[in-house]
Amino acid sequence: MDALSVVTQLRDLASEPQNRAVIVQDEGCLPGLVLFLDHQSHDVLLATLQTLRYLAELSPNILTMKNELGMMVSLESLTERKDLPLDITALAQEVFDILRAPANPVSRTPESQRRKKSQFFINSSSKKAKSVTLHIQGLDSTDQRSLCEEALLKVRGVISFTFQMASKRCTVRIRSDLPTESLASAIAATKVLSAQQVVKNEAGDEVFVPLNPSGVEVQQNSAIPDYLPEEEDSPEREVDRAISRTTAKSDSNGTWLSSAASFLSKTFYW
């Protein structure tokens, strides 16, 4: 069991909305994630920030996360580092801004709530990034959306993305040096989805531009490792709702979370 294995799987758990409260309430997971923000591995840093971004989607989590010892200091430190890739510093800034925002917004209209739910790692502050709008053939359900999310998450250089399910579109914010064809190649690798770029012509009308994914090398953040084995000596904590994850759903999810928390405790608390 290593840091990357733990944090990538916590990220997978956090991607399921019903798990986010449980993860934040666990006494070992959140402190461990804060300590991972000081990790030397860029892959660990990115996966940790993605996990925190997921957890911050649940509004009641924000105050707990903000008050966690070292959280805001570590996030701010990441935003100021010049030796990190743009996708890491941009996401660190986004998570920092979310946690720093007022706890009680002035108003929340149904439309704004719908927009919020459709966003994923959305960030518009970086000047060294570009936005690409894709029309994704086959984007017909939440299952296909999850498949597309997993594909985009693996592409190194993807900073954020948001879906418009009704129009089968995905707006992706990427590093300026990342070819758009890399996105099409990653999406085509799902075998059930394909992507075209949406642009405006001289008349201002939207048109679809075919993207050729063949022969395009996609740089990946990291391969998602196998799920952690259960440990016989891992203490199991009772939780008020079930933990679930996107794959291997027949395994004992509560035991897995205990295993991860046990790893964090043994690694960072002595």
CA–CA separation, 143 and 125 (whole Å): 30
In contact, 16 and 246? CB cutoff 8 Å: yes
Residues of the chain within CATH 1.25.40 domain(s) are 3-105+252-268
Nearest to 161 by CA among 188, 128, 131: 131
Question: In this structure, which CATH number among 3.30.70.100, 2.70.98.40, 3.30.470.20, 3.40.430.10 belongs to the domain 118-200?
Answer: 3.30.70.100
Number of residues in the chain: 270
What stretches of the chain show up as alpha helix (H) in DSSP? Answer: 3-14, 20-25, 29-36, 42-55, 59-67, 71-80, 86-100, 110-117, 142-153, 180-188, 253-268
Nearest to 132 by CA among 176, 86, 186: 176
Tokens of 248: 């291997």
pLDDT beyond 90 at 5: no
- Give the pTM: 0.52
pLDDT beyond 50 at 73: yes
Cα end-to-end distance, the chain, whole Å? 18
- Specify the pLDDT at position 246: 46
CA–CA separation, 118 and 79 (whole Å): 25
- Specify the pLDDT at position 249: 37
Q: Find tokens 């799987």 and name the residue.
A: 9
In contact, 156 and 221? CB cutoff 8 Å: yes
In contact, 148 and 118? CB cutoff 8 Å: no
CA–CA separation, 8 and 193 (whole Å): 24
Give per-residue pLDDT as tens, 183-199. Answer: 999 999 999 999 999 98
% the chain with pLDDT above 70:
69
Nearest to 236 by CA among 22, 32, 69, 6: 22
Mean per-residue pLDDT for 245-259?
48
Q: How confident is the model at residue 19 (pLDDT cuts 50, 70, 90)?
A: confident
Residue range 3-105+252-268, CATH number: 1.25.40
pLDDT beyond 50 at 261: yes
Q: Burial, 64: exposed, middle or buried (Cβ in 10 Å; 0-12, 13-18, 19+)?
A: middle
Nearest to 209 by CA among 197, 227, 225, 201: 197
Residues of the chain within CATH 3.30.70.100 domain(s) are 118-200
DSSP-derived secondary structure letter, 139: -
pLDDT beyond 50 at 225: no
In contact, 170 and 153? CB cutoff 8 Å: no
CA–CA separation, 77 and 75 (whole Å): 5
CA–CA separation, 9 and 26 (whole Å): 15
Distance of CA 102 to the CA centre of its chain: 23
Residues 6+ apart with CB under 8 A from 112: none
